[in-house]
Structure 1
Amino acid sequence: MDGRKLALGDVERAREDARARATESEWMPYLPPASAPFAPADVEPSSLRWAETVAPGGYTHLRVARGTRIRLEDPHGDACAHVLVFNAVNPAERLNVADTQKIPWQAYLRDGHPLLSGDGRVLATVVADTSGRHDAFCGTTSDAWNEQKYGDALPEGPTPSGHGLLWLAASKHGLTSRDLPPAVTFFQGVRADAEGSLVWHGSAGAGTRVDLRAELPLILLVANVPHAADPREDYVVGPLRVIAWTERPTGEDDDVFFASPERTRAYRNTIAYAELAGL
């Protein structure tokens, strides 16, 4: 009996010690999201579902319902969000960058731009954008690129690659490296010049944001790492904020629905798929 009491006392002391050592980090989710110091003032607190600050060289992953609105914020001007989206019901349906540029007849991501899959459906829509500095040409950084430029690419090291972090995020959802298509990048812009060369334009500055609307249930993967075209020698990237709240998917009362015949067809394909599947 005395031995049992001693063991119980040891467990209780260990628990108290562990709780005393508990610390909070700025690179963490805020629960409930309404308690986040950067919770949007224009969003009803009860609708908030997620709020997180992603560290420089960090990643996050979310599974969100159809109609969820996801806000990405660049608080200091050096965030670089490399984003992949998958149909959460069937992850074989995923972001197709070529169709994302081709269907809207626009290579540059901006307000109103749909992110399409290869199945002719809209996975997400850019519904607000105060940055205008994005990229759908270069994809994210590879291990080989980071090893050549920075000398290291390990996810737990000081200079992780975007692909390595997206792979880690994907693994949380049963996906592998083979499942990762080219990503789109927000907050660090690339433009094609008159000769067709890609030119890095960098950030629009601190305090900009991009809002995405989930048109289907989605798996969202985000890596916050420097852009491959960033000419700076150092591994320069700032924190990234991610906030998600309940809203509604795009419908016929939204201007983007009828922005072009191709977009209308894609949105109708998406709605039909969702309604038939009971999503």
Structure 2
Amino acid sequence: MSTATTHSAKEHARSQATLAPAPTAPEGVSELTWAESVPGGSYTTKVLARGTRLRLVDVHGAACANLLLYRVDAPWERLNTADTVKVPWQAYLSAGHPLLSDQGRVLATIVADTSGHHDALCGTTSTATNIAKYGVSGPHSSAPAGRELFTLAAAKHGLEPRDVGPSLSLFHGVTVAADGSLVSTGSAGPGRSVDLLIHLPVVVLLANTAHPLNPSPEYDTTTLDVLAWRAPEELLTLDNTEPEYQRAVQNTENAWKAAQ
């Protein structure tokens, strides 16, 4: 298609647009604050309020939701994957697991999980790893790396490449073998979901990219659905009674009250 005139350039640009239908609200939820379908190899970002419930859905069974969180009013405080594993004494993410900052505060809690296939150890892909595996990388290529997409998403909030740290991967499991090696357990299948409850206002960065240990030789990541709605009352009904979790929640509540 020619782009020699303004009219033809406009028509060409419109033909390139991809319109994915937004996911619908789950039963019992009257209004969504975020509803988006993220294709494989794409990213999204949003600022979410305290008390928001965020649901991620692996629609077709090959999504990989790479996740970073930053506190809105103090973005130097952000998701710390090492503390998220260390403080709860648990390397494998599941319902009840806190997503912690390095200040000992809970940015979010996993409150529901029908997948059980996640990873807090590997982080996301880089330009070098994607070129080595797929022969190409770049945010607009056929195989964008997670770090490349995170860098674009972070820039929308005034964050720099150095602010992109280790991330969590949801819907692609990894276990540690007896010899210490990391083993991919892949996906739990289509339609699985993870729900997070947000404790402090956060910037959410999501990159839907192939996992570093994905055994497939093809870049075949599929759609991730993202839904969010207000559920502040759920902050009062969390049932994790582990002392480490309770201390982190108290630290979080103290910070929130002091800032009001």
TM-score by length of 2: 0.92
Alignment match, 2:55: 71
1:253–1:213 Cα change, 3 Å: closer
* Aligned residue type for 2:82: A
Secondary structure of 1:45's aligned partner: coil
Aligned length: 253
Q: CA deviation at 1:22?
A: 5.7
CA contact (8 A) 1:57 1:223 kept: yes
Alignment match, 1:7: none
Please state if 1:221 is matched with 2:205. yes
Alignment match, 1:137: 121
Please state if 1:40 is matched with 2:22. no
CA contact (8 A) 1:122 1:270 kept: yes
Aligned partners of 1:49, 1:253: CA distance in 2, in Å?
A: 22
Unaligned runs of 5+ in 2: 1-5
Secondary structure of 1:76's aligned partner: coil
Structure whose alpha-carbon radius of gyration is higher: 1
Among candidates 241, 253, 256, match of residue 274 of structure 1: 256
- Aligned residues: CA RMSD: 2.0
Alignment match, 2:3: none
Secondary structure of 1:255's aligned partner: coil
Spell out, residue by residue over 1:78-131, the C-alpha distance to the aligned partner (whole angstroms, 9 max, x if none): 000000001011110001011000111100010110000000000011010000
Aligned partners of 2:97, 2:196: CA distance in 1, in Å?
A: 10
Aligned partners of 2:19, 2:138: CA distance in 1, in Å?
A: 19
1:86–1:28 Cα change, 3 Å: farther
Q: CA deviation at 1:215?
A: 0.5
Spell out, residue by residue over 1:153-212, the C-alpha distance to the aligned partner (whole angstroms, 9 max, x if none): 110111000000000000000001100110000000000112111100000000000001
Alignment match, 1:173: 157
Unaligned runs of 5+ in 1: 1-13, 31-37
CA contact (8 A) 2:199 2:235 kept: no
How high is the sequence identity, in percent, across the aligned residues? 47
CA contact (8 A) 2:107 2:200 kept: yes
Aligned partners of 1:128, 1:179: CA distance in 2, in Å?
A: 28
CA contact (8 A) 1:27 1:54 kept: no
CA contact (8 A) 1:80 1:186 kept: yes
Please state if 1:196 is matched with 2:180. yes
Among candidates 58, 64, 76, match of residue 80 of structure 1: 64
TM-score by length of 1: 0.86
CA contact (8 A) 1:68 1:246 kept: yes
Aligned partners of 1:267, 1:249: CA distance in 2, in Å?
A: 15
Aligned ranges 1:1-279 → 2 under 5 Å: 28=20, 30=22, 38-46=23-31, 48-248=32-232, 251=235, 253-256=237-240, 259-278=241-260
1:260–1:27 Cα change, 3 Å: farther
Aligned partners of 1:24, 1:73: CA distance in 2, in Å?
A: 26
Q: CA deviation at 1:253?
A: 3.5
Aligned partners of 2:18, 2:96: CA distance in 1, in Å?
A: 32
